[in-house]
Amino acid sequence: MHENEQLIQVGDQVIVQRQGYTKLHKLKKNGSLIIGKFTVQMDNVIGHRYLDTFQMKNSSNNKKLFILEKVEDSSCSVGALNIETSGQDNRNIVIDGDSQMLTKDDIDKLQDSELNSNAIIGELVSNSKTFNMKTGYSQEKYIKKKEKKYFEYIQIRRPTVRLLANMFYRQDPSKTLGIRIDDLSQILAYANIHSDGNHLLYDSGTSGLMVAAIMNSIGANTEASLIHMHPGNECQKNAFVAMQFPEEQRNRCINVNLYSVLRDFYQTKESEDPNMEETPSKKQKMNEDSAEAPKPPQWKIDNQRACKILQTKCDTLIVTSKEHPVNIVKELLWFLKGARQLVVFNAMREPLEDLFVYLKSRLDIVGIKLSNNFLRNYQVLPERTHPEVNMNSGGYILSAVKLNS
């Protein structure tokens, strides 16, 4: 990577991370970012390296505005506090709202004095009447809760597919059809995405995550191309833009409207039919039109590029759609080469069951598999291990292989 590419520059798409919270942000000159209740001036990160850590400090002119100052280390409050005693259980703790001796004004003064989060949390702990009565686990939860509120360090990270997938899923799973990072990795593995050949994707609701993941797997300076079909006038490309691929890699991603490109494909196919004869007058009119015609719009150029690839067929077909997938797959299967993979993702099982039945009726489709790899996070602590209760089960993946005609 070039030296300048390792430095944060104006116009870069960056991931701003504050503990477990992440947010996508495009850097602008004199720009600011809202993180929770903080408004942070972002100018000071420009020119520094990715993964550098910055401390949020109050601006002298505006107490609600924070500026960033580069630091070498941000120590964790849990490790910095020296906790000597803890209780056996929490049964004798009375929650009366009077356990903290510091008032809100006292805490505001601590923040105004520019103490770091460790010092503020230390004051809160030492002035709590019930902290030493809590169990070790409860003390850790208390400290992490306060650390989340007062933690003043952020880190600037370069966007990656993993960071974007986790960020979108945490913010709103419906924006990416409920695709988790483990679902995404399985889709790419089943589809055998590689840096050669041509890949076909129909996507109607992953905020560009599937496009970004496929293009990232294809890689830069390769021969592979991706046809990204979508239902609307404009494709969703938030994650794709955030990845900041080089220009030659972006050019190998062809974004086309599904209905428009199929219409052009079949019209072109009919016009190239050798059984159709052109009269001299018709041929002369076409030559005159082509001589006077202005440059076609970009969507028309993209359609023509996609049609050339579709004529030779594709090495992979992936469908991640909000719509029922049967008709979409039925239409696009013709463009898949023999001995190649079909992968369909859906948040619901029933649409894929219908697709399963349809594919079973075809003689050219084998190895049909419908799966849901449920992944549950576990909290593992000494003598207390249990699964997390509130979590999404992910979606369903159908994979199959098309035989040679």
Domains detected in the chain? 3-74 (no CATH), 78-150 (no CATH), 161-270+297-402 (3.40.50.150)
In order of 8, 124, 128, 259, 340, the CA distances from 230 in angstroms are: 33, 53, 57, 9, 22
pLDDT value of residue 218 = 95
- The pair phi, psi for residue 145, each rounded to 5°, is -65, -45
pLDDT value of residue 398 = 97
Among 210, 175, 332, 341, CA closest to 265: 332
Per the document, the length of the chain is: 405
Q: What angle do CA 334, 338, 342 make, to 5 degrees?
A: 70
Mean pLDDT, rounded, for 146-170: 87
Residue 227 contacts by C-beta under 8 Å, 6 or more apart in sequence? 198, 199, 200, 201, 254, 256, 261, 306, 309, 310, 314
The SS3 call for residue 33 is: strand
Q: Encoding tokens for residue 104?
A: 């809100």
pLDDT top residue among 69 and 244? 244
Lookup result for tokens 């001299």? 280
pLDDT value of residue 134 = 78
Mean pLDDT of the chain: 84
Give the confidence band of 126 by pLDDT, cuts at 50, 70, 90: confident
pLDDT over 80 at 306, yes or no = yes
pLDDT top residue among 142 and 10? 10
Q: What is the pLDDT of residues 16-50, one digit of tens each?
A: 998 888 999 999 988 899 887 778 899 889 999 99
Among 374, 372, 362, CA closest to 399: 372
pLDDT over 90 at 141, yes or no = no
pLDDT over 80 at 145, yes or no = no
